[in-house]
Amino acid sequence: MRQTIVAGNWKMNASKETVNTLVVGILEGLHNVKNAKVIVCASSPYLSQVEALAVHSQLNLGAQDLNVNASGAFTGEISADMIKDFGAEYVIVGHSERRSLYGETDEIVANKVKAALDNDLTPLFCIGELLEERESGNTEAVVTRQINAVIAKVGIEAFKNIIVAYEPVWAIGTGVTATPQQAQDTHAFIRSLLAENDADIAQTTPILYGGSMNPANAEELIACEDIDGGLIGGASLKAEDFLSICKAG
Ligand code: 13P
């Protein structure tokens, strides 16, 4: 039995005031979340604030990206140790926005997954196809390439400590959600790819769905056999909406 995981990806949306309101709001309702593990992924300047607010709570903290190097002359970057310094245990890796806007290739993403794992951070490893890739029937080829790049780098055993997030790029921030059937089909395919390497690990690896998940569609998506929770963008910025998704798990 896989535990439901709901993670908020705040992206570049925060101020001290909104972070305070949001985290206090989440903490107020968290006792009503019975099943899901709840994670929020904040921008680096706010990790410290979330750490302080969420101390001794069930709320887990993550970052949104990391640099593969331990330290040094990498202006503007953050390392795994810096992330851990603020009590964060998770890091989003390979989000489609980083792949498309910042040129992150499968190789770069695989190296970041490895850097996270080597430093005891759990990567939320994102994959997903573009609209034109889905329309041309290439969804499975794309996710196969993305998954295999990471398996080649870290090995299948490492998936014991990896959370996969399937985020069809056409569904991110668009209000167009994959139908439960579309999402379930791709999730089942991803699990079958993992199973080609190790059947037991395929059964235990969490695969989250991301892309316009909201309180209205979360329950139906998370109820699908191979969908183990969500990676939530827009709807994670309001405590009420985020909690309602957390309760759907
Ligand atoms: P939205 O929920 O805003 O579509 O964003 C999804 C996402 O990119 C989470 O990482």
In order of 56, 64, 88, the CA distances from 53 in angstroms are 9, 19, 13
In order of 65, 98, 216, 236, 245, the CA distances from 241 in angstroms are 24, 25, 9, 7, 6
Verify whether ligand 1 is closer than 6 Å to residue 62 (CB atom).
Answer: no
Nearest CA to ligand 1 atom 2: 233
pTM equals: 0.98
Q: Which of 212, 221, 222, 236 to mutate to test the pocket of ligand 1 (most atoms within 8 A of CB)?
A: 212
pLDDT digits (tens, 9 = 90+) for 11-55: 999 999 999 999 999 999 999 999 999 999 999 999 999 999 999
Work out the widest C-alpha separation in the chain, in whole angstroms. 48
pLDDT digits (tens, 9 = 90+) for 148-204: 999 999 999 999 999 999 999 999 999 999 999 999 999 999 999 999 999 999 999
The active-site residue out of 95, 97, 104, 129 is: 95
Q: Is the pLDDT of residue 215 over 90?
A: yes
Active site residue 28: no
Verify whether ligand 1 is closer than 6 Å to residue 230 (CB atom).
Answer: no
Return the ∠ at Cα 19 (arms to 34 and 30), rounded to 5°: 10
Q: Which domains does the chain have, with CATH numbers?
A: 4-248 (3.20.20.70)
Nearest CA to ligand 1 atom 1: 233
pLDDT tier, 249 (very low <50, low <70, confident <90, very high otherwise): confident
64: Cα within 13 Å, side-chain hemisphere: 22
The active-site residue out of 104, 129, 167, 187 is: 167
Mean pLDDT of the chain: 98
